[in-house]
Structure 1
Amino acid sequence: MELLLTIAEHLAAQLLMITFFPVIFESYKRRHSYEHVDAPVIYEDLNSLKQIPCPHINDPAEKYISLIIPAFNEERRLPAALDETMNYLQRRAAKDRSFTYEVVIVDDGSQDATKSVAFGFVKKYTVDNVRVILLGRNHGKGEAIRKGMLHSRGELLLMVDADGATKVNDLEKLEYQRKWYRYFLKKSFDPVVFLVAGPEIRDTQCGFKMFTRAAARKLFANIRLKGWCFDLEVVFLCKHFNIPVLEISVDWSEMPGSKVNLLSIPQAMWEVAIMVFGYGTGMWEIRSEYS
């Protein structure tokens, strides 16, 4: 009997190691936030298509607001969203000269005509107002947002989804009409959100978040999650740095062509496990500034 228990315990230990080894290995790979993604930032000049240096989060702000739009295979949804966004920004700028802006489109390795669509808006509105950053290959929404934040010029930095699900000028109320798996994902995440963010934050996954330049400098110097779960890591880091978080209701609409599907569930749990292990063990060092 004792022998059988010893064998069972040994097998259980091996199974546990096999289960957690990928999490440990991936957490170790991402231990340095500044080198866990090997894609350099590529910012192309519209006329020559030559790579030119990007602005840096450590530079002084040159604009009042930067809108960061992550885009992966968004040739169909991006034009309408950008048209509405640019019309709004131009109207604001016409009424208030202090309202200066830029839109930073981060092409996350798209395989369709997203890049061409983005550069079309650069040509229409000038490179001072619309810039395109190319990641070269697909890394995930979190990495696209991270790159855009770290290379923007605004005093305020606003992340906006490419599908136009949330309108730029819509800051009053939020109406959820999500597909069942989006609802399931949110409800599955509720206990995790409660533990990480506390009871004051109800929804971490809204793709409409604004940061001050100082806050973004600290937060996005540390982000390791590359997928859409990076929002949870942002909230965790806000609590670490004692950065106040205010949740404001906005209108949200289900848009066709969403990248969120059933496969997002295990992918989300994988990233959460990596984050919990990385921060929980102290393997992921939290830096106060980006360098």
Structure 2
Amino acid sequence: MDCLCEIIQCLVALAVAALIVVLLIAHLTAGMVDLKRHEKEKFFLTAAGEKEPFPSLHDPSSLEMSVVVPAYNEELRMPVMMEEALEYLENRRKQQPLFTYEVIVVNDGSKDKTTEVALQYTRQFGADKVRVLTLVKNRGKGGAVRMRSLFRTFLMYGFHFLVWFFCVRGIKDTQCGFKLFTREAALKTFSSLHVERWAFDVELLYIAQCFKIPVAEVAVNWTEIEGSKLVPVWSWLQMGRDLLFIRLRYITGAWKLESPRKTD
């Protein structure tokens, strides 16, 4: 019995020590997230190839809708999405003359011709409707695709459990890439965002719930185009790590919720 008690005490001590180490790592590495923008990322190219400053969420609103399209090596898949999206937006504009929009393609450090393909739509529709932001280096984008094998399904459900346990409750699919924000909600959530890769959706929703921003899930028709850049096993492991750090960094105060200044 004494031996069993000693074993239990050792296990508890190891668990406490491991928790302390994880807390220290989460806290000490919180400031290592690079949120600075490169000077080149502050401009977009017009149809004539001239540089213009990129608008900010902090600027007064001038459009009814902004569609942000994260893209990494998407020269082949982008035309399908862009043509369908722009057709819908243009038809809506014809039906509602006061409706205004912009599509912002964010080239996430692609190595292919993603920027060149996107700029074709800038030339076709104008830089007031299609703007291309090319990031100097790949920063990553949150999102997930449906997994089919047993192992991938296990990882997916494991990830959803971790999301529920650590960060966000009441949302069935945090990783859906189709999210709609009001300008005020976008300003509040993105001003506090730290995670840049696959788990960024979870942090966004975590921030939204902390600010008590209403969140609703609405069914839409979604067509998955082959060619996702998600690497199954590694991406899930990376997301699991990020989920743990999101929770720990906020509860320890390493990350704080920002209160953005009001805009008109």
Q: TM-score range by the shorter chain?
A: 0.7 to 0.9
Aligned to 2:236, which of 258, 265, 277?
265
Distance 1:15 1:233 in 2: 24
1:216-240 CA-partner distances (Å, limit 9, x unpaired): 1110001000102111111111111
User: Secondary structure, in 3 states, of the residue corresponding to 1:210?
Assistant: coil
Distance 2:256 2:133 in 1: 27
Q: Say which is worse superposed, 229-238 or 12-21, in terms of deviation.
A: 12-21
CA RMSD of aligned residues (A): 3.0
Aligned to 1:226, which of 196, 207, 220?
196
Q: Does 1:288 find its partner at 2:252?
A: no
The verdict on how the C-alpha distance between 1:194 and 1:139 changes in structure 2, with shifts beyond 3 A counting, is same
Distance 2:18 2:215 in 1: 40
Counterpart in the other structure of 1:84? 84
The CA deviation at 1:37 is 3.8
Quote the sequence identity (%): 33
Counterpart in the other structure of 1:131? 131
Aligned to 2:148, which of 179, 194, 197?
179
- Superposed, 1:195-234 pairs within 5 Å as 195=165, 196-198=167-169, 200-234=170-204
Amino acid at match of 2:247: V
User: Secondary structure, in 3 states, of the residue corresponding to 1:263?
Assistant: helix
Distance 1:248 1:178 in 2: 21
1:62-120 CA-partner distances (Å, limit 9, x unpaired): 11101000011101100111011111111111111122110000011111000100111
User: Secondary structure, in 3 states, of the residue corresponding to 2:243?
Assistant: helix
Rg larger for:
2
Amino acid at match of 2:133: I
**Long gaps (5+) in structure 1:** 143-160, 166-175
User: Secondary structure, in 3 states, of the residue corresponding to 1:84?
Assistant: helix
Aligned to 1:26, which of 29, 33, 47?
29
User: Secondary structure, in 3 states, of the residue corresponding to 1:128?
Assistant: coil
Q: Decide whether the 8 Å contact of 2:72 with 2:229 is kept in 1.
A: no
The verdict on how the C-alpha distance between 1:38 and 1:87 changes in structure 2, with shifts beyond 3 A counting, is closer
In the alignment of these two chains, the number of paired residues is 251
The CA deviation at 1:186 is 3.2
Q: Does 1:278 find its partner at 2:249?
A: yes
Amino acid at match of 2:148: K
Distance 2:105 2:74 in 1: 11
Q: Where does structure 1 differ by over 6 angstroms across 4 or more consecutive aligned residues?
A: 13-20
The CA deviation at 1:280 is 1.7
**Long gaps (5+) in structure 2:** 1-5
Distance 1:124 1:108 in 2: 22
Counterpart in the other structure of 2:3? none
Amino acid at match of 1:116: E
The verdict on how the C-alpha distance between 1:26 and 1:69 changes in structure 2, with shifts beyond 3 A counting, is same
The CA deviation at 1:275 is 1.0
The CA deviation at 1:18 is 6.7
**Greater percentage in helix:** 2
TM-score w.r.t. the length of structure 1 is 0.76
Q: Decide whether the 8 Å contact of 1:27 with 1:275 is kept in 2.
A: no
Q: Decide whether the 8 Å contact of 2:47 with 2:119 is kept in 1.
A: no
User: Secondary structure, in 3 states, of the residue corresponding to 1:67?
Assistant: strand
1:207-263 CA-partner distances (Å, limit 9, x unpaired): 000000011111000100010211111111111111000111123333211112222
The verdict on how the C-alpha distance between 1:100 and 1:184 changes in structure 2, with shifts beyond 3 A counting, is farther
TM-score w.r.t. the length of structure 2 is 0.83
Q: Does 1:39 find its partner at 2:38?
A: yes
Counterpart in the other structure of 1:66? 66
